[in-house]
Amino acid sequence: MSTIDSYNPADPGDLVVSVTAAGAEGVEASIARARAAQREWWALGAAGRSAALGKAAAAVEAAADELVALTVREVGKPVAEARGEVARTVAIWRYYAQAPFAASGEVHEPAAGQGLLLTRRRPYGVAGLVTPWNFPLAIPTWKAAPALAVGNTVVLKPAPEATACALRLAELAGLPDGVLTVVPGGGEEGAALVAGTDVVSFTGSTAVGRQVVAAAAGRGVPVQAEMGGLNAALVLPDADFGQAAAQIASAIAGYAGQKCTATSRVIAVGDAYEPFAEALSKALAQVTAADPAMASAVCGPVINRQALERLTDAIDGARADGAKVLAGGARAERDGWYLEPTLLADVPAEHPLASEEFFGPVAVLLAAADLDEAIALANGTRHSLSTSVHSRSLDVALAAADRLDAGMIRINAPSSGVDFHLPFGGAKAASYGSREQGRAALDFYTASRTVSVLPAGE
């Protein structure tokens, strides 16, 4: 059996956890236990499932300090963001604890004669969840909680880099045996999970996401996949440059840019280019890569050596192709996998930094002659998850929002914000299938059944 080792990205010699990988057989056994537990979990009824999810929320809240420290240590999340993630995790459990009582289905009039027509929604059985490391508590929760609320049981395979967080979250949730199971592992375990469960939700890279979608769809199993984004921020000439610079700097550098909603392309429109380039460069220069355990930290380390080398190689390649470094551009001089927040101008359109998600504190600055060109640039990607628009004119911003392809559009706000009770998802290759979060998730984890009741014979 192989082992899953998770290290602290701020202190690479610090082994956070080492566990035995589940292996394909272990995943299959966990799915079998989850299938056996599902009938009793469903039979608890709305009150029983609501109470269980409410207890999970209370347990996570009581362990908040422990979970914050673990999140900082295992994935290098700055402590202020880690506190926010734990608070969001509690809120999500509580939000979905009310869901078992929500109306589920509709009653319809028959087309002719007497009778009763109705629809009902029922759980699929076992939900297979594959989650990333960057939100090690919130993303497993926003997938698991709605699946559990409507009566499914859950088998969760977290990213190896977030193994300790997932195991502790499941332990704290305290659900009956087989209702929420964590299977540590990598590709082998993920493939076995997708091959054996009844409904699948994935968040991760585009390449793996496509494999997950193909495998689940080939079995006729409902699947949703969130696969990142190459997100843009549009800055119009009438924007408040100081406010926009602060918000976009946060969306570039916060948590070292390791969010699928982070800003990686900044599009300055018309006369905004020169003054905004200066404002954003200054804002980023004030955000230095720092120990994530520091209260003031905004940009911590990237997750591992491979991520850091991919980023620095891309920056060096862009510079060799004529790009100008307006801020950052180099590794921070400290132990751990740190990169200073970076802004590049004059990056060739064909360079990967202009067309691929790099998942780090790096953005390119682009010029657009007018709003039409800015929207064309923003839409010119296969991975359009979240876009921000910065303007004092609400009419202009809303008109732009109608023309942008992104799944989420934020006006005078960072691209990286998320409201957990609203649908979450992107456009084109950023997402596949139903939206996550909010009521959309409850629909995804249930199948609709149509019931026709006719009068019995006299």
Q: Which residues are catalytic?
A: 226, 260
In whole angstroms, how large is the CA radius of gyration of the chain?
23
Q: Which two tokens stand for residue 89?
A: 């995790």
User: Is the Cα torsion angle 104, 105, 106, 112 positive or negative in sign?
Assistant: negative
Q: Which two tokens stand for residue 169?
A: 């979250």
DSSP E strands in 44-174: the ranges are 105-108, 116-123, 126-131, 153-158
Element (H, E) at 189: helix 187-196
CA gap 385, 388 in Å, rounded: 10
On whether the CB atoms of residues 303 and 12 are closer than 8 A, the answer is: no
Length of the chain measured in residues: 458
On whether the CB atoms of residues 162 and 188 are closer than 8 A, the answer is: no
Q: Is 434 exposed, middle or buried (0-12, 13-18, 19+ CB in 10 A)?
A: middle
Q: Which two tokens stand for residue 116?
A: 């009763």
CA gap 207, 130 in Å, rounded: 14
**Helix (H, G, I), strand (E, B), or coil: what is residue 146?**
helix
**Helix (H, G, I), strand (E, B), or coil: what is residue 28?**
helix
Strands 126-131 and 153-158: parallel
Residue 50, number of CB atoms within 10 A of its CB: 18
CA gap 277, 274 in Å, rounded: 5
Element (H, E) at 359: none
